[in-house]
Structure 1
Amino acid sequence: MALRDGKASGKRLLLFIASIVLGIAAVVSIQSFSGNLEENIALQSKELMGADYRIDSNQPPNERVQAIIDSLGGANGKEVSFASMAAFPKSGASKLVRVRGIAGGFPFYGELETLPKTAATGYQKDRGALVDATVMLQFGLKRGDSIKIGNTTFPITGTLYSAPGSTAISSSVAPTVILPYGMIEGTGLLQLGSRIGYNFYFIADSGTDLKQLDEEVDPLLDAQNADMDTHTATSARMGRRFNNVGKFLNLIAFIALLLGCVGIASSVHIYIKEKLRAVAVLKCLGASRKQSFLIYLIQIAGMGLLGGIIGTVLGLLLQQSFPLILQDFLPFEVIISFSIQPIIMGLLLGVGMSVLFALSPLLSTWYVSPLQVLRIQEKTPIQSKRASIVVMIGIVIFMFCFSFWLLGNVRYALGFVLGIVVTFGILAGVALLFMRAVKKFFPTSWGFLARQSLMNLFRPNNQTMVLLLAIGVGSFLISTLYFTKDILLEKATLEGSERSPNIIMLDVQTDQKEAVVQDILTKGLPLIDNIPIITMRMHSIKGRLVNDIRADTLSRINQWILNHEFRTTYRDSLIPSEVLTEGEFTPTASSNNAIPISLSDNVARDAQVVLGDTLVFNVQGVLMETIVGSIRSVDWGRMQLNFSVVFPKGILENAPQFHVVSTKAPNESVSASLQREIVRKFPNVSVLDLRQILTLVEGILDKISWVVNFMAFFSILTGIIVLIGSVRTSKYQRIRESVLLRTLGAKSRQILKISALEYLYLGLLGSGIGILLSLISSQLLAVFVFQTAFVPSWIPFVLILPGITALVLTIGLFNSRGVLNSPPLEVLRKES
């Protein structure tokens, strides 16, 4: 019976399938790709690091660290890396790069991908440089040209495409230049204040337990301000980072699936409502409740299974494109393979979610009376309402379980489900209020076409609820993503005032300071900042030595406080990015007593100190006793120099220090001229052009936004399919109305206008409510997550609102063609 009835309603049931296909495809593709990504990271973990494990430090190894390195058999390879300006004599241009000086045959796994291939090893013998491919293209360089790093000019022996330890994103900020290790000293760049990393690479003996080695050696290195990383631990961290992105995309795909299920529930509701008379006839002929219920349950489960198969196949095909979409974020090539788990999950989701969301309307068949053949039952039985409530609870429990499986965190899963329920609840509430308001305050003075289109919004078998949910959720997702990108860019945007620098010069030595300042003033540019920086480490906290705190397993002081090399400054006032939260800021002091310092709130929290507590710093061999005099809240998101620890004036002026000098260039040509001049005279000085960095940040956010919007677009596509399904499902109701209107003398043009007005109302209301909800959610994100002001853009109102409305209008009218083209006799003779 289920098969026979299903054949008769084949076209309408196929739309049920389409409602969930895209959602299943999105979930399966992301799940499958995430599994592939995890496998690839595990398989290529050695190639990503280039060794079995490494020891790294921000300073040359001391005696204890060197002893540990020797006890491990000595490093098989080593590297020194730092950021520096590179000059290109051919064009006179300069650029910030990441210099990597390598020795000892590194990498031991994987390879340096170069052109020509021989350059991967030949650069050591030729004492040349391997230069990032993007830089070669940007400055029109070729093999044999020169690059100047510090005081030394190197021949370019090859183009570098990839290297272990480099990622596409980090290379876009500071492209990699690889040099022979022995040539680094001659550049003159290993100076005070330079951010230098020392890496020692090891090949493990067969059978070595890297996890146990890490647990034994890493604590010893931590006490000496060094660190050990194994390839397995590094790949696990990388896997977690990409896994978090996958979880986020999975949630977006899950929303698309939920949206499709809402379409199923609505379509089944209309479909079953038309079948109630047939169910009543079956009961009159002796069919039991269970039999009549199972007939349609089997239909829906079968359609769900077919939808799961189609969605799974589509998802597996879709994941083939993911490596191309995400190639800028992946430091390796992903090899796609098929696993059984996403396939099983896709099939189970197809059947399970179809049945779950169709249960509520299906239950009405259980309570149909045989008398339904003779009379029309308008009200839903009490038993059916109770059963529907139970089904709704089941849906919420399923949503929580599935989101918990995706996120692995109860609090996040509860938050996600609560957000979905609230969003859907608001949209459903708006739909109900809108329908009641139109019905109650019906504008009887309006023209016939306008009145008829409004009546369609609350007539039997109306589409208002399901379309507002589909349109609203799609608009909400896209608008929220757009507003969130705006918030992130706002935190990185340069301020437009005259005192806001866009050129920052780092690592200016004390004997270079006056000459750098003079070069700035000579070009007619303002000197905005001349900030001294002194490096120091924590020696003791509240009278306890740092080494004792490290050994205390019960200590709640964060480890980074104990191991961090603080870069501090001294000044007599706060800056715009700081707000004093506790104590009084001390402008000047003397060294006769404990020195009052100002800490950022995060340092005070992680160091477990409050006002009046004492801290002793090791300032390059000299111990300095300080007292917490004030605590500041710092906006680290602003593109300016902020400090965790600030000393008053009168204390550190004679300490070994370097400087950060900043200015504001009016245009790109002046900026380039200044950079060339500084790099030519002072090779050790690194110049940051904040406008270039901001452009890179915008580019990265655009790529991330594109990936997320790509997934969010599944919700819009699902909404379109739900729209088509709703229109097709109520097609026969529309045909009957069309026939009656034509009988009364209405023309096709008038009927078309009625449909157009109805979809215009739905499109405007759905997208408008979605955008308003996104404004509220974005405001909450700005206040509680990003802690910044939110100034909404008009673009969602100008583009998304009319765009989605036009899309709804077009789809609605396109699917209404069957109504307009149906002859009156089709209804009168009941040939439909």
Structure 2
Amino acid sequence: MNPTLLLRWALRESRGARGRLLALTACLALGVAAVVAVTGSVDAIQQGLAGKTRQLLGADVVLENRTPFPPEVDALLAQLAPDARRTQILELSSMAALPARGGVPGASMLVELKVVDGTFPFYGQLTLDPPAALDQLLDERSVVVAPALLSALGLARGDQLLVGGAAFTIAGEVLAEPDRLGFSFTLGPRVFVSRQGFARTDLGAAGNRVEHKLMLALPPDQAGAAQVQALVARLRSELERPGLIRDVDSGADSQPGVSRQLQRVERALGLMALLSLVLGGIGVSQVVRAWLGARTLSVAVMRCLGLRPVEILVMFLGQVLVLASVGCVLGAAVGASVPWLLPRLLPDSMPVELIQAAQPLAWLRGIGLGLGLSLVFALPPLTAVWRVSPARVLRAEASPLPAPRGVRVACGLALLLGVFFSALSLGERLDLAGGFTLGLAAASLALMGAARLVMWAVGRLPRERVGPTLRHGLAALARPGAGTTGAVTALGLGVFVVLSVAVVAERLSHSLRSALPDNAPTAFLVDVQPDQWQSLSAELEARAPGAVRSVPVIMARLSVIDGVRVADMLAGRRGDDDSRSEGRSRWVLTREQRLTWVEQLGDDNQIVAGALWSEPELDEVSLEEGFAASLGVELGAELVFDVQGVAVPLRVTSLRSVEWRSFAINFFVLVEPGVLDDAPHFRIATARMDPDAQRQVQDLIAARYANITLLDVRAILEQVAELLSLLASGIGALGALTVLTGLAVLAGSVASTSLRRGREAALLKTLGLTRAGVARLIAVEHAMLGAVAGAVGGLAGLLLARGFLIEVAELSLDMPWGLVPLAAGLTGALAALCGVLACRGALRQPPLLSLSE
């Protein structure tokens, strides 16, 4: 048929259904608003999160190496990030000392020297005293130092300090630096020096161990989270894997204690964005189904006039597309306002600091997804036109019938492909999109099976002993054309989304809020000598009773693994391009290992393989599981450590998981007690103290323990706590948004199935039932539909939440099975309420008017 004629028919057909078309447009807008609101909020939080995490690093990307960067780095960066700002930093350990007086050398201590050139940092706040930019305080003859150095050596601003044989003037103090948001082992207080000042020292000579860092700040239009991760992946592939440089990191990778939480949040946000597709699809499918149910007589008339089913489908699909376009624009406008409104309406739940509300790409993507979802989710109900006979002109009460099997299969495949590509556009991962599509299909099949089972069971239950209201409700579920299967599937999928998101958001939010232990240390004490520990520990216990921990530290190097020298392994791996783990293994093999011993493991260490100190005849070692994987060793492997020239063979008898987010003292390598008792060592200690007690300890150390460095990490703890709290608030608020949106779509879905009940209500009133009686019948039927959908959908949602939390987020979960009957009851109540409200107009309308339509 001529497309122009089809368009004219579509316009004429719509004249008699303007009210229903407006309702369809509103419901399509609701579905699109669900997608745009959730995906827009996800994008807003992800962008805000990227801004927070880059402050952990001071840059978007950091490249690290033990030697100066090879020419390949400049060439690749010129190709991949030509507009990125760069600054190069050197980090090394050195001695800082007071000038000699009367021929007597001044006091000295080990410091961490940081050589900066240009802008530092690109992101975050470098807090200095006096307040100024770092390059304003540094020149070739000045340094900026940590307060701990001033206290330890009795210095003040303006005094002289010797570093690497050159004299510098102390120009200021560094109180906090963003890229030191971590609790890695440190040798001493920080000293900042300019590149010109470093050139005056003798520290650049060959043989000094220098850490080279290249920091990159990308232009705003290239600094999105996905773009940064793509750049990092490419740099790792081209530079790190072949062994040209040691490491490439982004903000999300920089701190082990925080990065796992960030990964969990990213994955949860992705899950919510994917589930928002289901919400939109449910709204579209049910509204189109109800709309077509009301247009069955018009379809029969068109068949009498010679239109083929495919032409009728194209005509209705064109109407859906036009209405969907209007609904998408309206829904996008509503959904786009949500990320902007939520932080202002709920400032305690959705942090403004974590939101970047302007997300035009999210809006466009939401409109595109809305149109695509409208088309693919409208196809299954629209295929009912194939089975509308022209003879149905005389049977206006007829309901739509299923399409032929081949048509249904084709539409089902189109629906699956539409969901798959929509999920791929959000998740950008084939495995995630495929798993989500298959999981959604499995949940839908389970719900359809449950609906058919209920219809079969209801049709065979004896109903003589129950009251008339319940009897009618049971009979209505199993009657032909009741739409029980579609209603249960739609409601069940809605419950599936709502419950899974609610459980994931609550558990993840709780994990984030409890990520920072209450007993996290506020101070680290480094380089404590064994003969100093007894007196120092007494002073610490007096000021922080029960909050002091200390362990011995022995410096060593790994020399042999299972009879193969590490030097030979490194020579064999040079130039390998297998995986990122190979690039990291070079660092694991060459790093200076820090060993300790403990009798019992703390709560933040759990044995995952083997047993701790279980072989009396062997000298044993326990490895952190990730460290063991990087080394490529398993239980039973023999490692030989070089401890100051002495070879110490050890057998791996256990592997441990370490909760790095505890921010306590943890090690990759634990040695059996007694093996290294005679080896030279020092101690490190942690304590949790109030500010006054910590100042007293700092003064005590400056007066009596000049070699010990106290590192104040209170500010770092506060930064971590603030970030985790923001993440918890954001994920909780977004979960609530998704749940509320799901409830709105659920209500709309129930209402859409009730729009065609006018003639049924009129017939029941004609047979003598009152309005209240008809309302009770409708309520019972919808309550039973909702209860079945709530039970099956709730169970599926809990299983999804359990799989996500355990397998993806790596969190434990005590399954709240009690939520299944609660979901069944609440969904039944919601369905009954919405069903009665949707039929309110039909209940008030005179029966003759309804029957004459």
Question: TM-score of the superposition, structure 1-length normalised?
Answer: 0.70
Aligned to 1:259: 279
Aligned to 1:11: 19
Q: Distance in 2 between matches of 1:271 and 1:220?
A: 58
How far did 1:396 drift? Answer: 1.2
Q: Distance in 1 between matches of 2:409 and 2:126?
A: 61
Aligned to 1:570: 597
The question of whether the paired residues in 2 share the 8 Å contact of 1:588 and 1:650 is answered with: no
Q: Which amino acid aligns with 1:629?
A: V
Q: Distance in 2 between matches of 1:440 and 1:216?
A: 64
Aligned to 2:641: 617
Secondary structure of the residue that 2:295 maps to in structure 1?
A: helix
How far did 1:818 drift? Answer: 1.4
Q: Which amino acid aligns with 2:438?
A: L
Which one of the candidate residues 812, 821, 824 is aligned to 2:844? 821
How far did 1:293 drift? Answer: 3.8
Aligned to 1:703: 730
Q: Residues 118-137 of structure 1 correspond to what in structure 2 (within 5 A)?
A: 119-120=132-133, 124=137
Describe the shift of the 1:429–1:240 C-alpha distance in structure 2 as closer, same or farther (beyond 3 A). same
Which one of the candidate residues 577, 584, 594 is aligned to 1:560? 584
Aligned to 2:439: 419
Which one of the candidate residues 421, 424, 429 is aligned to 1:409? 429
Describe the shift of the 1:387–1:52 C-alpha distance in structure 2 as closer, same or farther (beyond 3 A). closer
Aligned to 1:134: none
Secondary structure of the residue that 1:569 maps to in structure 2?
A: strand
The question of whether the paired residues in 1 share the 8 Å contact of 2:771 and 2:843 is answered with: yes
Aligned to 2:552: 532
How far did 1:792 drift? Answer: 3.7
Describe the shift of the 1:630–1:549 C-alpha distance in structure 2 as closer, same or farther (beyond 3 A). farther
Which one of the candidate residues 716, 721, 727 is aligned to 2:743? 716
Q: Which amino acid aligns with 1:717?
A: A
Q: Distance in 1 between matches of 2:497 and 2:61?
A: 46
Q: Which amino acid aligns with 1:507?
A: L
The question of whether the paired residues in 2 share the 8 Å contact of 1:438 and 1:454 is answered with: yes
Describe the shift of the 1:741–1:679 C-alpha distance in structure 2 as closer, same or farther (beyond 3 A). farther
Q: Which moved more, 1:749-758 or 1:45-54?
A: 45-54
Aligned to 2:120: 107
Describe the shift of the 1:771–1:124 C-alpha distance in structure 2 as closer, same or farther (beyond 3 A). farther
Measured against aligned partners, the alpha-carbon deviations of 1:209-257 in whole angstroms (never above 9, x if no partner) come to x99x98999779978x9657799x99xxx99999997786465344333
Which one of the candidate residues 389, 397, 401 is aligned to 2:409? 389
Q: Distance in 2 between matches of 1:164 and 1:528?
A: 26
Describe the shift of the 1:455–1:629 C-alpha distance in structure 2 as closer, same or farther (beyond 3 A). same
Q: Which amino acid aligns with 2:451?
A: A
Q: Which amino acid aligns with 1:396?
A: L
Q: Distance in 2 between matches of 1:416 and 1:806?
A: 29
Q: Which amino acid aligns with 1:297?
A: L
Root-mean-square deviation (Å): 5.9
Q: Distance in 2 between matches of 1:572 and 1:48?
A: 35
Measured against aligned partners, the alpha-carbon deviations of 1:241-288 in whole angstroms (never above 9, x if no partner) come to 999977864653443333333343334334334433433333334444
Q: Which amino acid aligns with 1:704?
A: I
Aligned to 1:478: 501
The question of whether the paired residues in 2 share the 8 Å contact of 1:470 and 1:719 is answered with: no
Measured against aligned partners, the alpha-carbon deviations of 1:67-92 in whole angstroms (never above 9, x if no partner) come to 99xx99xx97758799xxxxxxxxxx
Q: Distance in 1 between matches of 2:270 and 2:805?
A: 23
Q: Distance in 1 between matches of 2:381 and 2:651?
A: 66
Which one of the candidate residues 607, 627, 644 is aligned to 1:603? 627
How far did 1:11 drift? Answer: 2.2
Q: Which amino acid aligns with 1:578?
A: Q
Which one of the candidate residues 628, 643, 655 is aligned to 1:632? 655
How far did 1:46 drift? Answer: 11
Q: Which amino acid aligns with 2:405?
A: K
Describe the shift of the 1:724–1:159 C-alpha distance in structure 2 as closer, same or farther (beyond 3 A). farther
Describe the shift of the 1:610–1:390 C-alpha distance in structure 2 as closer, same or farther (beyond 3 A). same
Describe the shift of the 1:387–1:243 C-alpha distance in structure 2 as closer, same or farther (beyond 3 A). farther
Q: Distance in 2 between matches of 1:492 and 1:38?
A: 20
Describe the shift of the 1:491–1:103 C-alpha distance in structure 2 as closer, same or farther (beyond 3 A). closer
Measured against aligned partners, the alpha-carbon deviations of 1:138-161 in whole angstroms (never above 9, x if no partner) come to xxxxxxxx9998547989x99999
Aligned to 1:282: 302
The question of whether the paired residues in 2 share the 8 Å contact of 1:51 and 1:201 is answered with: no
How far did 1:392 drift? Answer: 0.8
Q: Distance in 1 between matches of 2:266 and 2:513?
A: 26
The question of whether the paired residues in 1 share the 8 Å contact of 2:551 and 2:684 is answered with: yes
Aligned to 1:543: 565
The question of whether the paired residues in 1 share the 8 Å contact of 2:611 and 2:653 is answered with: yes
Q: Distance in 2 between matches of 1:631 and 1:796?
A: 39
Q: Distance in 1 between matches of 2:551 and 2:780?
A: 64
Aligned to 1:648: 672
Extract unaligned runs of 5+ from structure 2.
Answer: 1-8, 76-85, 94-111, 158-170, 198-208, 218-230, 345-349, 703-708
Q: Distance in 2 between matches of 1:709 and 1:164?
A: 32
The question of whether the paired residues in 2 share the 8 Å contact of 1:483 and 1:778 is answered with: no
Q: Distance in 1 between matches of 2:60 and 2:761?
A: 74
How far did 1:569 drift? Answer: 1.6
Describe the shift of the 1:585–1:503 C-alpha distance in structure 2 as closer, same or farther (beyond 3 A). same
Q: Distance in 2 between matches of 1:550 and 1:672?
A: 50
How far did 1:739 drift? Answer: 3.3
Q: Does 1:513 align with 2:533?
A: yes
Which one of the candidate residues 303, 308, 329 is aligned to 2:328? 308
Extract unaligned runs of 5+ from structure 1.
Answer: 83-98, 132-145, 186-195, 205-209, 496-500
Aligned to 1:585: 613
How far did 1:328 drift? Answer: 4.0
Q: What is the identity percentage for the equivalent residue pairs of Structure 1 and Structure 2? A: 21
Aligned to 2:380: 360
Q: Residues 57-136 of structure 1 correspond to what in structure 2 (within 5 A)?
A: 106-107=119-120, 119-120=132-133, 124=137
How far did 1:395 drift? Answer: 1.2
Q: Distance in 2 between matches of 1:678 and 1:164?
A: 25
Secondary structure of the residue that 1:651 maps to in structure 2?
A: coil
The question of whether the paired residues in 2 share the 8 Å contact of 1:585 and 1:629 is answered with: no
Q: Which moved more, 1:635-644 or 1:424-433?
A: 635-644
Describe the shift of the 1:487–1:617 C-alpha distance in structure 2 as closer, same or farther (beyond 3 A). farther
Describe the shift of the 1:643–1:397 C-alpha distance in structure 2 as closer, same or farther (beyond 3 A). same
Aligned to 1:437: 457
Q: Distance in 2 between matches of 1:38 and 1:782?
A: 20
Describe the shift of the 1:652–1:504 C-alpha distance in structure 2 as closer, same or farther (beyond 3 A). farther
Secondary structure of the residue that 1:106 maps to in structure 2?
A: coil
Q: Distance in 1 between matches of 2:183 and 2:775?
A: 54
Q: Which moved more, 1:538-547 or 1:782-791?
A: 782-791
Q: Distance in 1 between matches of 2:60 and 2:520?
A: 42
Secondary structure of the residue that 1:578 maps to in structure 2?
A: strand
Q: Which moved more, 1:378-387 or 1:20-29?
A: 378-387
Describe the shift of the 1:217–1:634 C-alpha distance in structure 2 as closer, same or farther (beyond 3 A). closer
Question: TM-score of the superposition, structure 2-length normalised?
Answer: 0.69
Q: Distance in 2 between matches of 1:45 and 1:635?
A: 22
Describe the shift of the 1:763–1:80 C-alpha distance in structure 2 as closer, same or farther (beyond 3 A). farther
Describe the shift of the 1:386–1:781 C-alpha distance in structure 2 as closer, same or farther (beyond 3 A). same
The question of whether the paired residues in 2 share the 8 Å contact of 1:38 and 1:239 is answered with: no
Aligned to 2:192: 181
How far did 1:417 drift? Answer: 0.9
Describe the shift of the 1:425–1:292 C-alpha distance in structure 2 as closer, same or farther (beyond 3 A). closer
The question of whether the paired residues in 1 share the 8 Å contact of 2:597 and 2:670 is answered with: yes
Q: Which amino acid aligns with 1:441?
A: L
Q: Which amino acid aligns with 1:360?
A: P
Which one of the candidate residues 469, 489, 502 is aligned to 1:449? 469
How far did 1:423 drift? Answer: 2.1
Describe the shift of the 1:402–1:108 C-alpha distance in structure 2 as closer, same or farther (beyond 3 A). closer
